[in-house]
Structure 1
Amino acid sequence: MKLVILESYVMEPGDLDWSGLRALVPDVAEYVRTPYDQIAQRIGDAELVVLNKCRMDEEILSKCPNLRWVGIIATGTDNLDLEACRRHGVSVANVPAYSTYSVAQMAFSLLLAICQCPERQDKALRDGYWQLEIPAGYGILPQVELYGKTFGVCGYGNIGRQTARLARAFGMEVLVWTRTVRPEYAQDGVTFVDLDTLLAKSDIVSLHCPATPATRGLVNGEALAKMKPGAILLNTARGALVDEAAVAQALTNGHLGYYAADAFAVEPLPADSLLRTAPRTLFTPHVAWATGGALKRLMEITARNLETFLAGAGENIVNR
């Protein structure tokens, strides 16, 4: 059997490596990045493929008749046509829950940076300023105490639930909008509400939904108008959840207080994106998942997914 790694950049040299996969399949071809028009050629006659952001659709699958397993090194699968993979007899395995703690941590890293501006405060101090003497040019915002605020969580999977735990630890009331309310959630100390209620009552709204036909464009102009004036919007989930033009407009007209994101509709964020010139924004380049602890779990689960598939069963198959 042959394994093709289409996007090896996910593992930086010197950190973790692909030895777990190589131990299972010695015949491995590895590419740092693969553009769409080279995917089918690079897969060739291989039976096994590992990817991260590469698209897998009918056109690719029709040119790779030997393909039997795709391991996506991520939790979300919106770049893969799962039904087309099923028709072609290709199993798709994802990596659930590997980045739960890291992504929830990033949501609060962004929020705390907005509420207290520690890096800007540090720069001002090193430049010789102190407390209320700091010039406006440093962009330091009025400090915000999170205790007593209302924190809205959209999507209550592993990451949304962990983010809610952190919000409660800060003394915030937590509202949750989710498709499924499970019995075990009763002990979480959160309140489940409809989306309109969450938007209207939350001081901070944090997105943790997968990108599906039902959630794409979830935060559009209409949703933003329902939010509290001055509210903070956090997106560490998927860029497709947000109408970025509507967010830029809401920031410009002052209705939305702040937008912080680690995910974007088009990645890398285009140079002409309206978000780049909108006021009161804070962005990171989709790196919330890339802590050392998360990457270690990512590789361990990916190797286990492949090992169990080769043994005849297969774990974490999302299109069985």
Structure 2
Amino acid sequence: MQIVFLDASTLHSGELDLSVLERHGSLTSYPVSAEAEIPERIPHADIVITNKALMTAKNIAAAPQLKLIVSCATGVNQIDLDAAAAANVVVSNVAGYSTPSVAQHVFTFILNFATQIPQFNQHSRAWPQFPIFTSLAHPSFDLVGKTLGIIGLGEIGGATAKLALAFGMNVQVLAREESKAKRMPELPRVAAEDFYSSSDFISLHCPLTPATQGCINKQTLSQMKPTAYLINTGRGPLVNEADLAEALDAGTIAGAGLDVLSSEPPSPNNSLILSDHPQLMITPHTAWSTLEARQRLLAGVAENITSFMGSFAPIKN
């Protein structure tokens, strides 16, 4: 089998051993692949691995031997599923590998907002000149008794809820008619208006759909407390970025922690990238990327290939 990994640099920078992918064939690995380069890299591929490299109908047609596309991620939006099905190409993904990592990242945002550590750290060199032993310049607060509102109670939302409960927080879930989640039924499902107005933190974990795109906008932001914080480690387009930037500048909400933006890498003119709001923290889509999460992801990709190859195993009499 000829195995082609189109964008291996999205998985590692040399610290992972990709030889596990060679159990069933010869591996050709590229750090990244521009869309124009993909057809010339896969004409003899039996298996293609991709994180963000697009497997369009055109690219699938350029690989007549192709049998399997493995998404090195949970999502498969980079793959034309209809074209794959028409070509009898199997598509697989890896679910659940980043759950503890993303939940941890959410709480990194929450704890930084509660303790104001980033702000105090910036002023640490001035400590010798303080008139007293401490500083009250950036008021901090306890998480005990605060309310975390979760939009999307899937695996990651559920893991985040458990961390919040361990910190003594109250947890509530946005009631959504389209949601089929039955996880943690003891958590209250709250209608939108009360949900937004009563949450001290709101964390987004819902899938990106036509119904959820732009769900954080001028209207929903205006319903939030001026002391509340928004956290998005889900999908960038869940948030209307111009409305969020305006809400931060106007003091409509206290701050935001974002690990995703509407386009990535973002435009240098993105209103949030340009913002100097002291309570805006942005990380470059790193919530998923702990070493352990990437090891789990690699193992999942290898397992998907092994399972697929097992379907070709001869039946023994």
Find the aligned partners of 2:192 and 2:46 in 1 and give their Cα distance.
Answer: 43
SS in 2 for 1:54: coil
User: Could you say if the C-alpha distance between residues 2 and 276 of structure 1 is closer, same or farther in structure 2, counting changes exceeding 3 Å?
Assistant: same
Equivalent pair of 1:6/1:32 in contact (CA under 8 Å): yes
1:232 aligns with 2:224: no
* Aligned equivalent of 1:60: 59
* Aligned equivalent of 1:147: 144
* Aligned equivalent of 1:305: 304
Find the aligned partners of 1:133 and 1:277 in 2 and give their Cα distance.
Answer: 35
Q: Identify the range of structure 1 (168-177 vs 5-14) with the bigger mean alpha-carbon deviation.
A: 5-14
Find the aligned partners of 1:155 and 1:131 in 2 and give their Cα distance.
Answer: 47
Deviations 1:179-217 (A, max 9, x none): 0132x523xx42122334322221110001122233222
CA offset at residue 266 of structure 1?
0.9
1:24 aligns with 2:24: yes
Unaligned 5+ runs, structure 1: 314-320
Task: Kindly provide the amino acid, as one letter, of the partner of residue 297 in structure 1.
Answer: R
Find the aligned partners of 1:59 and 1:75 in 2 and give their Cα distance.
Answer: 23
Find the aligned partners of 1:132 and 1:61 in 2 and give their Cα distance.
Answer: 67
User: How many residues are matched?
Assistant: 306
* Aligned equivalent of 1:318: none
Unaligned 5+ runs, structure 2: 313-317
* Aligned equivalent of 1:248: 245
Deviations 1:220-250 (A, max 9, x none): 2222222222320001111121111111111
Of residues 156, 162, 167, the one that matches 1:170 is 167
Task: Kindly provide the amino acid, as one letter, of the partner of residue 192 in structure 2.
Answer: L
User: Between Structure 1 and Structure 2, whose CA radius of gyration is higher?
Assistant: 2
Find the aligned partners of 1:132 and 1:198 in 2 and give their Cα distance.
Answer: 41
CA offset at residue 160 of structure 1?
0.4
User: Could you say if the C-alpha distance between residues 119 and 132 of structure 1 is closer, same or farther in structure 2, counting changes exceeding 3 Å?
Assistant: farther
Equivalent pair of 2:154/2:181 in contact (CA under 8 Å): no
User: Could you say if the C-alpha distance between residues 198 and 39 of structure 1 is closer, same or farther in structure 2, counting changes exceeding 3 Å?
Assistant: farther
Equivalent pair of 1:78/1:212 in contact (CA under 8 Å): no
Task: Kindly provide the amino acid, as one letter, of the partner of residue 20 in structure 1.
Answer: V
SS in 1 for 2:194: helix
Equivalent pair of 2:42/2:62 in contact (CA under 8 Å): no
User: Could you say if the C-alpha distance between residues 132 and 203 of structure 1 is closer, same or farther in structure 2, counting changes exceeding 3 Å?
Assistant: farther
Q: Identify the range of structure 1 (228-237 vs 121-130) with the bigger mean alpha-carbon deviation.
A: 121-130
* Aligned equivalent of 2:7: 7
1:69 aligns with 2:68: yes
Alignment of 1:23-102 (within 5 A): 23-25=23-25, 27-102=26-101
* Aligned equivalent of 1:269: 266
Higher relative CO (CA 8 A, sep ≥ 6), structure 1 or 2? 1
Q: Identify the range of structure 1 (249-258 vs 75-84) with the bigger mean alpha-carbon deviation.
A: 75-84
Equivalent pair of 1:115/1:145 in contact (CA under 8 Å): yes
1:191 aligns with 2:180: no
Task: Kindly provide the amino acid, as one letter, of the partner of residue 10 in structure 1.
Answer: T
Find the aligned partners of 1:49 and 1:31 in 2 and give their Cα distance.
Answer: 11
User: Could you say if the C-alpha distance between residues 194 and 272 of structure 1 is closer, same or farther in structure 2, counting changes exceeding 3 Å?
Assistant: same
Equivalent pair of 2:268/2:274 in contact (CA under 8 Å): no
TM-score, L = length of structure 2: 0.89
Deviations 1:28-82 (A, max 9, x none): 2110011122222212221211111122222322333322211111112233332
TM-score, L = length of structure 1: 0.88
Identity %: 35
* Aligned equivalent of 2:181: 181
SS in 2 for 1:277: coil
Equivalent pair of 1:11/1:17 in contact (CA under 8 Å): no
Equivalent pair of 1:78/1:211 in contact (CA under 8 Å): no
